[in-house]
């Protein structure tokens, strides 16, 4: 597979489609130096981008949290996403809108910088190796922790917040794990490096309260699917000491979808029927075989 900067196709860039290789920004772009960038990750299934409007609205909200406005409406972003799919001849794809501050100003202050928006799409299979995911992936314990809400803009899907996730994933890869489980600044269980966490004990689902990390769109979808089946979902603080008492563990995200976890650090889990059922329900929902609530 070619590098991401060397591909055929088109990227929507500030209102128009440009050839993939020409979708470039200047080296002194503010976002590159000061992380003033936000993004989304969403999947298209059979030509339909799942929960696209929610993603486009979250992109706007993420930018506002970082103090800038995206000069395209959610409706215009939705249309642009589909324009990108069509231009690249894609029906099943990963779609990546990204908004950032430009190169008009260099320095910590972003004053005077202009907002930009680009949207790319490409074919991307399962985030984790399907053979490993079927048995349950192995998670390391991340060396970094999710920061407190008073120290970072934790409810923005901001590029800067992914630095510790990337470092933790790199650390896990080097140690032979598939991903890492992150705790928060208090020592509570938070999430994986790019996916939310769900635990099951005696038929009840427990998931950490998203007070210092994103309340993912897939996370919200899974909670709804579980409650449709009459499964109790409890959002609460979860401490590492509790992990040995849970029987099942899975993670969710637009990229990860529903991925089973076999172990996290010293704790082991089974891939049980509730996890599998919710995985099937999610697959049916995104592929149009199950109606939205």
Taking residue 157's Cβ as centre, other Cβ atoms within 10 Å add up to 22
Residue 180 contacts residue 171 (beta carbons within 8 Å): yes
Token readout for 214 is: 């994103």
Tally Cβ neighbours within 10 Å of residue 166: 12
Closest CA to 116 of 8, 39, 43: 39
Contact call for residues 245 and 268 (beta carbons, < 8 A): no
What's the rounded Cα separation, in Å, for the pair 166 and 181?
A: 12
- 242 is written with which tokens? 């509790």
Q: What are phi and psi of 97, to 5 degrees?
A: -80, 140
Q: Which of the residues 111, 126, 157, 169 is marked catalytic?
A: 157
Report the C-alpha gap between 162 and 166 in whole angstroms: 6
**Distance (Å, whole) CA 236 – CA 284:** 28
Active site residue 132: no
* CA gap 249, 283 in Å, rounded: 18
Any idea what DSSP says for residue 185?
T
Q: Could you tell me whether strands 257-264 and 137-141 are parallel, antiparallel, or unpaired per DSSP bridges?
A: parallel
Which positions are annotated as active-site residues?
157
């Amino acid at each position: 597979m070619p590098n991401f900067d060397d591909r055929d196709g088109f990227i929507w860039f500030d209102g128009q489609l440009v050839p993939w290789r020409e979708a470039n920004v200047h080296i002194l772009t503010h976002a590159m130096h000061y992380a003033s960038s936000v993004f989304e990750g969403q999947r298209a299934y059979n030509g339909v981008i799942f929960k696209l409007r929610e993603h486009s609205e979250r992109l706007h909200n993420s930018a506002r949290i970082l103090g800038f406005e995206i000069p395209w409406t959610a409706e215009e972003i939705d249309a642009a996403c589909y324009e990108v799919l069509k231009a690249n001849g894609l029906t099943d794809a990963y779609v990546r809108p990204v908004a950032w501050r430009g190169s008009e100003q260099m320095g910590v202050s972003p004053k005077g910088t202009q907002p930009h928006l680009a949207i790319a799409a490409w074919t991307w299979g399962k985030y984790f190796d399907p053979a490993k995911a079927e048995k349950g992936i192995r998670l390391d314990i991340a060396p970094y922790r999710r920061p407190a809400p008073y120290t970072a803009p934790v409810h923005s899907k901001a590029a800067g917040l992914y630095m510790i996730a990337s470092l933790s994933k790199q650390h896990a890869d080097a140690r032979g794990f598939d991903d890492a489980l992150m705790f928060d600044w208090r020592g509570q269980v938070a999430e994986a490096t790019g996916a939310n966490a769900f635990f099951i004990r005696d038929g009840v689902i427990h998931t950490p309260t998203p007070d210092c990390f994103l309340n993912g769109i897939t996370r919200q979808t899974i909670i709804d699917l579980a409650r449709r089946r009459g499964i109790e979902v409890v959002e609460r603080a979860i401490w590492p000491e509790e992990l040995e008492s849970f029987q099942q563990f899975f993670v969710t995200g637009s990229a990860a979808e529903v991925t089973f976890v076999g172990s996290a650090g010293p704790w082991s889990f089974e891939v049980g029927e509730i996890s599998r059922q919710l995985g099937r329900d999610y697959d049916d929902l995104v592929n149009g075989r199950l109606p939205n609530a």
